[in-house]
């Protein structure tokens, strides 16, 4: 039985932690849409990815925004060893990011590093969205990519990234100013990792209702 990660909420049940993690971090993710004040550093650098991670998870985990200090693996794949993480991050930061292919390659390489103890996928997909919006004026419509296809393509990406590039390219969308698309993307991104207790619509509705009571 896997040990529940130490958390600021002192939750001991994995099920309850998953629910609270989704509830809190998804609300925070929705606040990143068109938030120009959030961009205070180079979005193509690790510091910006770390800033996203901290923003999403700082109410839940002490390690939010911090590079992991232990080796991790998933599905038999071992991510970059702790000993080499800093060096690997510098190499990814120096990768070009002017085209679609270059941005996806940067994303794939950062995924191989998996720099955080938890919340890598959700943070990195938002990071990818920021890069796509900035460099290409495009976003990815994640609802057009099934979880199975995405996971399989990412699993194969360290060896060959043509599959993930094709999936992402076929899901590009020009509606970067549409909040409803951004909210749906957040939902799909979270569902890839098994977090589907709440929809963004439900969370936004509860936020609006609470505001009316104030």
Looking only at the bridges linking them, the beta strands covering 73-74 and 77-78 are antiparallel
Mean per-residue pLDDT of the chain: 93
Instruction: Identify which of 120, 110, 105, 114 has the alpha carbon closest to the alpha carbon of residue 162.
Output: 105
CATH 3.40.50.880 is right for the domain spanning 14-213: no
Query: Tokens 């270059």 — which residue?
Result: 102
**What residue spans define the domains of the chain?**
14-213
pLDDT one-digit tens code per residue, 105-143: 999 999 999 999 999 999 999 999 999 999 999 999 999
Say how many C-beta atoms besides its own lie within 10 A of residue 109's C-beta: 18
pTM for this one?
Answer: 0.93
- Of 8-17, 57-66, 70-79, the least confident: 70-79
Query: Tokens 């509830």 — which residue?
Result: 23
Q: What is the pLDDT of residue 209?
A: 56
Model confidence at 74, in pLDDT bands (50, 70, 90)? confident
């Amino acid at each position: 039985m896997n040990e529940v990660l130490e958390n600021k909420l002192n939750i001991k049940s994995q099920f309850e932690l998953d629910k609270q993690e989704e509830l809190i971090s998804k609300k925070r993710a929705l606040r990143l849409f068109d938030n120009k004040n959030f961009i205070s550093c180079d979005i193509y650098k690790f510091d910006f990815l770390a800033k996203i991670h901290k923003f999403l998870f700082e109410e839940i985990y002490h390690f939010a925004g911090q590079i992991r200090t232990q080796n991790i693996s998933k599905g038999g794949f071992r991510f970059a060893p702790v000993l080499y993480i800093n060096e690997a991050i510098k190499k990814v930061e120096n990768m070009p990011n002017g085209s679609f292919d270059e941005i996806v390659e940067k994303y794939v390489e950062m995924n191989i590093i998996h720099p955080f103890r938890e919340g890598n996928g959700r943070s990195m997909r938002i990071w990818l969205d920021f890069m796509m919006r900035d460099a290409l004026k495009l976003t990815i419509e994640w609802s057009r990519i099934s979880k199975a296809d995405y996971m399989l393509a990412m699993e194969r990406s360290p060896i060959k990234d043509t599959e993930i590039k094709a999936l992402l390219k076929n899901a590009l969308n020009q509606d970067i100013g549409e909040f409803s698309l951004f909210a749906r993307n957040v939902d799909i991104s979270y569902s890839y990792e098994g977090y589907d207790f709440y929809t963004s619509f439900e969370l936004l509705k509860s936020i609006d209702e609470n505001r009316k009571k104030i």
